[in-house]
Amino acid sequence: MDDQLARVLDDLYRAGRAHDGPLADRLQRLRNMTPDAARLIATLIRARRATSVLEIGTSNGYSAIWFADAARDTGGRLTTVEIDGSRAAVARANLERAGVREYADVVHGDGADVLARTPDASVDLVVLDAERPAYAEYLPQLRRVLKPYGVLAVDNAVSHRDQVAAFRELLTAEKEFAVALHEVGDGVLTGVRVLS
Ligand SMILES: C[S@@+](CC[C@H](N)C(=O)[O-])C[C@H]1O[C@@H](n2cnc3c(N)ncnc32)[C@H](O)[C@@H]1O
């Protein structure tokens, strides 16, 4: 990662923390992923040589910059989905400022709709960082869209353990996924789709 990109990420993260601090309403907060969690997922993108990466929950594009930078290295592309149009616009501007806009498509929409229209076995890595109660409903589509040995990564699996518990149980019960919890940042749950 070049110095300019590292500086943009650092600035954005600090500004995000300062923005969120005084806000009581969680939905008003930007809720950026921790740098450690984003770095872990960016590492998985590179290790998997993922060329098709899908993120649900863009916010202002902080984690999307990490993933677009990794996708640049693999010759791939990130699609990141945000339900709030003004946030999607801010994310596009932040990706531009970071110099990785050309490696990312920011979709203004509902992650469930985007998953439903994603072709079978077409995605190398999916990141879930949106509304946790919805994840269980995504599971059949996640199973369908991930390539064999594709990776699912779910943030906040430790910080919001209770809210992720039902999804974690469902995923663990699936024979098709090898599941692991990583105590990095706010906790990253991964599932590798081991059967085709
Ligand atoms: C935790 S924040 C994402 C943080 C972002 N990944 C980052 O690290 O900068 C969650 C975001 O998901 C968005 N969101 C909530 N439900 C969604 C849905 N069904 N589809 C797409 N985005 C959604 C919210 O508007 C919010 O901006």
Q: Among 60, 129, 135, 155, which is best to mutate for testing ligand 1, by the most ligand atoms less than 8 A from CB?
A: 129
Which residues are 75's β-sheet partners?
A: none
Q: What is the mean pLDDT of each run of 10 residues along the chain (196 residues)?
A: 92 96 92 98 98 98 98 98 98 96 98 98 98 96 97 97 96 95 98 86
Instruction: Please tell me whether residue 182 adopts helix, strand or coil conformation.
Output: strand
Question: What pLDDT sits at residue 195?
Answer: 76
Give yes or no for residue 94 CB within 6 A of ligand 1.
no
What pLDDT shows up at residue 196? 55
- At residue 88, the pLDDT reads 98
Residue 42, ligand 1, Cβ within 6 A: no
Task: Kindly state if the Cβ of 84 falls inside 6 Å of ligand 1.
Answer: yes
> 162: which 2 tokens?
């209770």
Give the number of other Cβ atoms within 10 Å of residue 31's Cβ.
19
CATH topology (fold) of 3-193: Rossmann fold (3.40.50)
Question: How far, CA to CA in Å, does 46 sit from each of 25, 52, 75, 84?
Answer: 35, 11, 10, 29
Q: Is 155 in the pocket of ligand 1 (CB under 6 A)?
A: no
Domain boundaries, the chain: 3-193
pLDDT of residue 95: 97
